[in-house]
Amino acid sequence: MPVNGEPDLYIAGQWRHASDGGTREVINPADGSVAATVDEATDSDARDAVTAARAAFDDGAWPATSAGERATLLDRIADLLQRDKADLAALETRDTGKTLVESNIDIDDVTSVFRYYAKLVGVEADKVVDVGDPSVISRVVREPIGVCVLIAPWNYPLLQMSWKIAPALGAGCTMVAKPSEVTPLSTIAFVRLLQEAGVPAGVVNLVQGSGAVLGSALTDNPDVDFISFTGGLATGRTIAKVAAEHVTKVAVELGGKNPHIVFADIGTGDDWDSAVDQVLTGVFLHSGQVCSAGTRLIVEESIADDFVADLVERAEKIKMGDGMDPASETGPLVSEQHRAKVEAHVASAISEGAKLLTGGARPSDPALANGSFYLPTIFDGCDRSMAIVREETFGPILTVERFTTEAEAISLGNDTEYGLAAGVRTSDPARGERVVRALRHGTVWLNDFGYYTAAAEWGGFGKSGNGRELGPTGLAEYQELKHIWHNTAPKPAGWFKG
């Protein structure tokens, strides 16, 4: 753990302090206390990290290692993740405020990502192309793309970073990892684990600090071959524009404003309760700080009043508290600054005429006064003219829209500039298939919400970004294709006779 003055920038296989001695306090959002003090990298430190990654790629052995060697390393990392699961989960909770239950699930998911890519790279093979000439061997081979800059968000620090580091290592790339400056603790501990696993010096480098300070060194840099960024739309646009000057490949995942469509045929009893539970979990898990959160409930008019009433009743019973407390069902927002943004979204919704049904305030419990807590919030009477429906709030806010026909439900679900995820709840299989195929979103859940697998691609349509993480495509993002044409029976040149 990066405390007591230990250096926690990792560059060229060495742990070191920031070159100007700068540090940053990491705040525990559950009580406002200082969780740790970490080094705050400078522009010079970030450039050193890119230089180290460049040297390790151009002159080091890692890019030429066999698929089997890379797979073995990924499996070794997965073993260490499970060995250190409890410590890593505690750091994740201290960093983000999420419950320890969620953090433990996250570490298991991180482990699964490394296991998946260990298997995938272990069976990768060249593709032979039949060109119709027996004297020609034509092959398409995959090679590592080069130096990668990996920028992860604060809501799932280690999970989102693993989606990048695992395939990058599996492909044979070198990299510079930059976690959010708000939540760096678990990533620092993880890089120490990578060092223990035997990742060669310079292959993985770590810097943490403000994007405003480090951004140019990491993204406006001709020594970088690929940038993977997960975060906000505005920052993603800036990175794409800057990288375009060097024709640097960029993959960005920029969030979403995700619809959760509930039809009147969902049934009663357990089926009804399951639908209510999935809507609640879809929006209020991790206090809504999830890019794929189902923040837009689009519910059929004939059941809307009853369904929303049950949501409100259940939302008001959600137990808020420190994520380290086993009794807590949800934790705080990540920071005071972020809570202020959420409060501004709520004020805007009220001013635009949305009907506040519950929440919309800080909790009154004195035990939560020092943390960045905000009550689960539900607005009814919403429509697409309201900013609260169009813009990503990244907080515990559910908006309610109503529909009367299937076509209207689909139209509302697609009426967004984003396209990351969506959910559909219906007991009619034919309707379910029609609707999920009609929705323009990268992941669509039918009678479920929020689950994923490392073996299936993740990413969005529209302004939710470009490129994909996870699955075979997630590995392909870190590879270049090379066509090798081998003439086994060279013939005399015949074009020019002179």
Residue 489 within a domain: no
CA-only gyration radius of the chain, Å: 24
CA dist list (Å): 296 to 293, 416, 427? 9, 11, 20
% of the chain beyond a pLDDT of 70: 99
Mean pLDDT of 419-444: 98
Is the pLDDT at 456 greater than 80? The verdict is yes
Q: How many domains does the chain have?
A: 2
Whether residue 493 lies inside any domain: the answer is: no
Q: Looking at the domain assignment, is residue 361 inside a domain?
A: yes
Query: Is 148 tagged catalytic?
Result: no
Q: Which domain holds residue 387?
A: 259-446
Cα dihedral sign, 47-52-53-55:
positive
Listed residue (148, 371, 330) closest to 250, CA to CA: 148
Which tens digit of pLDDT belongs to each residue from 206-245?
Answer: 999 999 999 999 999 999 999 999 999 999 999 999 999 9
In the chain, pLDDT over 90 holds for what percent of residues? 96
The single residue of 40, 102, 148, 291 carrying the catalytic annotation is 291
Residue 195 pLDDT more than 80?
Answer: yes
Q: Which two tokens stand for residue 269?
A: 């009893």
| Cα distances (Å, whole numbers) of residue 331 to 95, 260, 299, 340, 431 | 11, 23, 27, 16, 37
Phi-psi region of 371 (alpha: psi -120 to 50; beta: other; left: phi over 0): beta
465: left (phi over 0), alpha (psi -120 to 50) or beta: left
CATH number at 216 reads 3.40.605.10
Please determine, for residue 498, whether its predicted confidence score (pLDDT) is greater than 70: no
Distance CA(308)–CA(32), nearest Å, equals 34
Q: Is residue 455 part of a domain?
A: no
User: What's residue 123's pLDDT?
Assistant: 82
The CATH code of the domain that includes 279 is: 3.40.309.10
Confidence grade of residue 467 (pLDDT, cut at 50, 70, 90): very high
Residue 198, in any domain of the structure: yes
Strand-pairing partners, residue 463, are none
pLDDT band for position 495 (cuts 50, 70, 90) = confident
pLDDT digits (tens, 9 = 90+) for 382-428: 999 999 999 999 999 999 999 999 999 999 999 999 999 999 999 99
For strand 204-206 and strand 259-262, is the pairing parallel, antiparallel, or unpaired?
unpaired
Residues 231 and 288 in one domain: no
166 and 286 co-located in one domain:
no
| Mean pLDDT computed over 340-346 | 98
Band (4; pLDDT cuts 50, 70, 90)? low
Give the active site residue among 253, 300, 392, 401: 253
Mean pLDDT of the chain: 96
Residue 363 confidence (pLDDT) above 70:
yes
CB 174 within 8 A of CB 62: yes
* 3-state SS class at 139: strand
Any domain includes 417: yes
Catalytic residue flag (residue 291) = yes
Does 161 score more than 50 pLDDT? Answer: yes
pLDDT (tens digit per residue) in 288-300: 999 999 999 999 9
Q: Both 249 and 347 in a single domain?
A: no
Give pLDDT, residue 106: 98
This prediction has a pTM of 0.96
| pLDDT of res. 125 | 76
